[in-house]
A and B are shown apart, each in its own frame.
Chain A
Amino acid sequence: MALTGLEIFKLLPKTNCKKCGRPTCLAFAMQLAQKKAELKDCPDVSEEAKAKLGAASAPPIKLVTIGTGEKQLKIGEENVLFRHDEKFYNPTGVAITLSDDLDDGAFKERLNKINSLKFTRVGTEIEIDLIALQNNSGDASKFSERAKEVGGNTHLSMILVSKSADNVKAALETCADKKPLIHGANAENWESMANIAKEKNCPLTVSSPTLEELADLTEKIKGTGVTEMVLHQNSENTKEILQGLTKIRRSALKKAFRPLGFPALTYIPNGDPSQEIASASAFLAKYAGIVVVDACEPWQIMPLLTVRQNIFTDPQKPVQVEPKLYEVGQVNENSPVMFTTNFSLTYYTVEGEVEASRMPAYILAVETEGTSVLTAYSGDKLNESVVAKAMADTKIEEKVKHKKLIIPGLVAVLSAKIQETTKWEVLVGPKEASGLPTYLKSTWH
């Protein structure tokens, strides 16, 4: 946790020399506490003070980086317990298990299936992040062989899961350049695991059934020089893990308790997939840095990834699309024209339905500061002049030869005014975007 102005003041030379540009050391200390000044402005500060202030200014939850390149995963460095207090910064990594003891065909099949788990929602591709390769064979050469196969055949980052330091070492010979997460250290093997993590410069998980022992282990491992760690509370009890995640987050943020100042990984093996996804969704909402699951069907993974997409949106920012004229499909001069607002959720819901209708159409996203149809209407951000202006700005009348405008059913009340202002014939569309395919088929010929 950050130091207070007075705590910082005690570490300063207290000479009031003004070299930093502030009238007194106390004034400088206060500005440091508010992050309005930098310590390097003081030429006389001691090395001891530098070290203490530097340590205190480190983020309460360590940022851990796994993998390299485009799919590199960054977790940790969160500032709040509740998203409405600010936002959650680094989206939870979703990992799917792959056992090294599957026969060749089954292994390849599952690997391909995992690789293809990506979906498009509200204009954004959502995808899993990691493959957790499990050393269920217990065999070093098998593990190494499979690690090589995964490394060469996936764009995703990797987790190497084994209790044997020798086996991890063998696997790393084939994929250390991909900076996998080693999973990992426990009370028995921590020294040898830490040595490998240090040597190969890879992040390391630390496993224990209790938070107390986790804190012991991270301190010991820190002593070996490994800094990037991920906590794993080894339990199959959903409630115990959920409470543990909250305790870890609270102790890091509210108590600046460094031994637990790391992101956390969750995994409950061999569960019923529905329960596994339910628990993983709860862990994701309440503080997991990585959730590992066995489930790998699209209908199981898509909801989990959507929870992540929703929970990690910035609550202070209405999510917007650029207000402009969008073309869906191969439009021509006879295509329907409809408008909606530039709130992403609204826009993409409409776009999705127009796509589903297979009828090419123009969608005019009207600037409403990213608010939905009803909210914009009640706040007078959506009215006949806003619509008329958007139509003029986008020169829609040059693009189609009809003059028919489909308006959202929720603002049917605006029909007459829009008709009068734009001189276009107004057609009242459905209230729900889901009604669009039927509506378009029945009304647009």
Chain B
Amino acid sequence: MQIANVVDKWTGAVKEVTIGATKDQGGTREKTVTVGGAKSIPFMDFDGDQGKRIVIAMDVYDIPPEDWPESLLKNYEDVVNDPASWAKKCAEEYGADLICLKLDGIHPDKGNKSADDAVNTVKSVLEAVNIPLIIWGCENNERDNEVMPKVSQAAAGERCLLGGATQDNYKTITAVCLADGHNLITQAPVDINIGKQVNILVTDLGFPLDRIVMFQTTGALGYGIEYCYSIHERGRIAALSGDNQMAVPVICDVGHEAWRAKEAKATDSEAPQWGSFAERGIMWEAITAVSLIQSGVDIIRMYHPKAVSITKEHIDKLT
């Protein structure tokens, strides 16, 4: 029996954003990463092109992480004090598509590192790896506005992805990204309207839409994932239905959120009924990623190499 025709024809498409620049393009990366381009909801390529493959950005911090459980930390024990080696390990051993360098150390409560320190860290990471970089501030407006312009300038021409522009603090970061040729992350607190509003604010400053990646604050599995799941889904449908200001790729922060969860952190003696501590955190991170993939995301920030490989293998099966 012939079944009903259920193809959905979408009028819009998510824009493609290219991160990284090769020597020919004025940078020093060996390869670039292009995300976005979807003309269908995730994996329904009978509707239209599903766009570029979802990529994994592995997080590297400029200060050693606090409170990481053993099963996570053991993968980075030898590199947590050196962001360059950390990034190299992610790129060469763990299969990261991108490095997300998070400058937490510039935060007043987390070391208050100087702009020079941050610039040196960025330069060392750029030198250590040949894949493109995401560079994210510490989410303290004052420090970000002081440090990110210098970081941006130090990486000028590398076409990094810089974060993040918020509704209350977008002018400085937008201006430096524009001047130094970087892409920009626009950020919102699980609110689709604010998300769109920030895109409007930065494009009003002359920032091109095809260099924007959106970030709706991520909730981990069991900790509000359904809120950002539905925001992503609504955003993607809006983009495909022709809302230009929503038609940009989406990044989500899975590693940090999943490893804060009690399910990832509780040891075997604290939670014997939950099964192997060594495996539990990895699964929590992987399943957070796998679930968000269904909502329409393009870049996933992750921590654990095994969670990364599970997620990549799953993406292979759907691509």
A contacts, CB < 8 Å to B: 82-84, 119, 121-122, 211-212, 215-216, 219, 237-239, 242-243, 246-247, 250-251, 254-255, 257, 259-260, 274-275, 277-279, 281-282, 285-286, 297-300, 302-304, 306-307, 309-311, 313, 315, 345, 349, 352-353, 356, 432, 434
A219 and B1: CB pair below 8 A? yes
When distances are taken between beta carbons in the complex, the residues of chain B under 8 Å from A349 are: 223, 262
User: If the complex has contacts A243-B44, A282-B294, are A297 and B275 also in contact, measured as CB distance less than 8 A?
Assistant: yes
A254 to B293, CA, bound (A): 24
A345 and B224: CB pair below 8 A? yes
State how many angstroms separate the Cβ of B72 from the closest Cβ of chain A: 15
> Besides A282-B290, A434-B262, 6 other CB < 8 A contacts?
A82-B230, A121-B222, A239-B318, A239-B319, A303-B284, A307-B291
Considering the complex, which residues of chain B in the window 202-234 have a beta carbon less than 8 Å from any beta carbon of chain A?
221-226, 229-230, 233-234
A216 and B221: CB pair below 8 A? no
Tell me, yes or no, whether B49 is within 8 Å of chain A by CB: no
**Size bin of chain B's contact surface:** 35 or more
User: If the complex has contacts A281-B287, A349-B223, are A275 and B310 also in contact, measured as CB distance less than 8 A?
Assistant: yes
When distances are taken between beta carbons in the complex, the residues of chain B under 8 Å from A282 are: 290-291, 293-294, 314, 318
When distances are taken between beta carbons in the complex, the residues of chain A under 8 Å from B223 are: 345, 349
Q: Which 5 A-B pairs have the closest CB atoms?
A: A298-B275, A299-B275, A255-B4, A250-B6, A303-B287
A84, A242, A302, A306: the one within 8 Å of B233 (CB): A84
A216 to B139, CA, bound (A): 58
When distances are taken between beta carbons in the complex, the residues of chain B under 8 Å from A432 are: 260
A254 to B8, CA, bound (A): 11
A82, A298, A307: the one within 8 Å of B221 (CB): A307
B contacts, CB < 8 Å to A: 1-6, 8, 43-44, 46, 67, 221-226, 229-230, 233-234, 237, 260, 262-263, 265-266, 270, 273-276, 279-280, 283-284, 286-287, 290-291, 293-294, 310-311, 313-314, 317-319
A215 and B1: CB pair below 8 A? yes
State how many angstroms separate the Cβ of A299 from the closest Cβ of chain B: 4
When distances are taken between beta carbons in the complex, the residues of chain A under 8 Å from B260 are: 432, 434
Which residue of chain B has its CB nearest to the CB of A216? Answer: B1
Q: List 23 A-B contacts (CB under 8 A).
A: A82-B233, A82-B234, A82-B237, A83-B229, A83-B230, A219-B1, A237-B317, A251-B4, A251-B6, A254-B4, A255-B6, A257-B4, A275-B313, A282-B314, A285-B229, A298-B273, A299-B276, A299-B280, A302-B274, A307-B221, A345-B223, A349-B262, A356-B266
B314 and A212: CB pair below 8 A? no
A303 and B314: CB pair below 8 A? no
Which residue of chain B has its CB nearest to the CB of A116? Answer: B273
Most A-side CB within 10 Å, residue of B3, B223, B230: B3
B262 and A310: CB pair below 8 A? no
When distances are taken between beta carbons in the complex, the residues of chain A under 8 Å from B310 are: 274-275, 278
Which residue of chain A has its CB nearest to the CB of B292? Answer: A285
Most A-side CB within 10 Å, residue of B46, B266, B275: B275
User: If the complex has contacts A84-B233, A255-B4, A345-B223, are A307 and B287 also in contact, measured as CB distance less than 8 A?
Assistant: yes
When distances are taken between beta carbons in the complex, the residues of chain A under 8 Å from B311 are: 278
State how many angstroms separate the Cβ of B139 from the closest Cβ of chain A: 13
A378 to B223, CA, bound (A): 20
B230 and A315: CB pair below 8 A? yes
A310 and B3: CB pair below 8 A? no
